[in-house]
Amino acid sequence: MSAQTPDIVLNARRVLVTGGARGLGEAFVRALVHAGARVIISDVLHERGLALAAELGQSCHYVPMDMSDPGAVSAGVHAAAAHWGGLEGLVNNAAITNSGGKNMDELTIETWDQVMAVNVRGPWLATVAATPHLAASGSGRVVNLASDTALWGAPRLMAYVSSKGAVMAMTRSMARELGAQGITVNAVAPGLTLVEATEYVPKARHDYYAQGRAITRAQVPDDVTASVLFLLSVSSGYVTGQVLPVNGGFVMN
């Protein structure tokens, strides 16, 4: 998984990426380091996170964080800030699907609660914990990972879609609450991206996206990284409360 040469420079900006050990999270980590940022990877995939941090060198550090555990979220964020002496950016990327291929009447309450705990409660608590550090930086940035599935109402994915719709709504409320502290909060809503976490997706769903995109090729992680880097940069300081679909025109606002 490669990071394209960035057009955006993030010299020494300190950024925490949750769920950064694989998939889109890994792509964000690589692109951030390539752009000059200092990055904290957090994940529950400890061996992969440690290996990625070791590969990327002194600009990268790994902190364990289970987004379903409120205590672990708070401790992980504060450990990340302590490592670099502060934070300018938070990418709330960690998420689980768990409801793919099931009708809504087939979902269990346990599955629903687990998805909401990781995908909605986790980013809320991570942002709360990060707020003092982001505010102290004078140019704090939060980027939440949503999904275009919540924009077009993907079927047989109810818990995940609902959680990502909540992330979009939460992004707008966070932006209003945190703006006075100089913190921007935005969301990126990728389409179906070719990563490890989407390998379970059936061919029919891939075909549906292929037929509906304005840009007809498959979506890859590098298609999403530039938008995230921009929203973490100083240049995005007057952009907040926005949801940016990055999906080749499958959904258009």
In a domain, 56, yes or no: yes
In a domain, 57, yes or no: yes
Where in the sequence numbering do the catalytic residues fall? 160
In a domain, 217, yes or no: yes
Q: Note the pLDDT tens digit of each residue in 167-182.
A: 999 999 999 999 999 9
Give Cβ neighbours of residue 101 (< 8 Å, ≥ 6 apart): 156, 157, 200, 202
Task: Answer for the pair 189, 148: CB distance below 8 angstroms, yes or no.
Answer: yes
Instruction: Specify the number of domains making up the chain.
Output: 1
The burial class, CB within 10 Å (0-12 / 13-18 / 19+), for 130 is buried
Residue showing tokens 């957090």: 42
Q: Beta-carbon neighbour count of residue 54 at 10 Å?
A: 11
Q: Note the pLDDT tens digit of each residue in 75-104.
A: 999 999 999 999 999 999 999 999 989 999
Give the pLDDT score at 225: 95
The CATH number of the domain holding residue 130 is 3.40.50.720
pTM of the model: 0.94
Whether 5 has a pLDDT exceeding 50, the answer reads: no
pLDDT above 90 covers a percentage of the chain that reads 83
* Beta-bridge partners for 60: 39
In a domain, 6, yes or no: no
In a domain, 24, yes or no: yes
